[in-house]
Amino acid sequence: MNKKQLSVILVITALLMTLLAGCSQEKAPAPAAAPAPAAEKTYIIACDAKYAPFSFEENGKYKGIDVELIAAIAKAEGFKYELKPMDFSGIIPAIKAGQIDGSIAGMNITQKRRESIDFSDGYFVIPSSSSLE
């Protein structure tokens, strides 16, 4: 995996943190239905399970740094989630369309992306190529 791909993975992971902070789109409940309490809602979280060590599938289960991170956040904050494997290119459109509540995958934070979705604070920094020489 090259540095650019790893950068992309890390930034998308940062996206999840902000989305879970209440930045997802919510649909209005049906008139007869009361909204579900937050503890009962199951968040749909996209992952691109092709980028070990951050997210990968092994023996039918998702593993990796991002998977462990979302599990720890969910436990600490008391919410349920379901991982939805998705191609990286479909994550932002799915968030904007309300098909998923967030994502746990690396993504570079750019100004253009900030104009359409929210990001969390980053938790992984990739050194520039000049600092590796």
- Whether residue 40 has pLDDT greater than 90: no
Is 93 domain-assigned? yes
Is 34 domain-assigned? no
Classified as helix, coil or strand, 131 is: helix
What b-and-e string marks burial along 95-109, b requiring 16 or more CB atoms within 10 Å of the CB?
beeeebbbbbbbbbb
Is 28 domain-assigned? no
- Whether residue 42 has pLDDT greater than 70: yes
Domain that holds residue 83: 3-22+40-125
Higher confidence at residue 87 or residue 20?
A: 87
Tell me what percent of the chain is helix, strand and coil, each rounded to the nearest 5.
40, 15, 45
Residue 24 binned pLDDT confidence (cut-offs 50, 70, 90) = very low
Kindly report the pTM of this predicted structure.
0.64
The least confident of 9-13, 48-52, 53-57, 81-85 is 9-13
The most confident of 22-26, 36-40, 89-93, by mean pLDDT? 89-93
> In the predicted model, what is the mean pLDDT of residues 8-35?
49
Tens digits of residue pLDDT in 65-99: 999 999 999 999 999 999 999 998 999 999 999 99
Domain count within the chain: 1
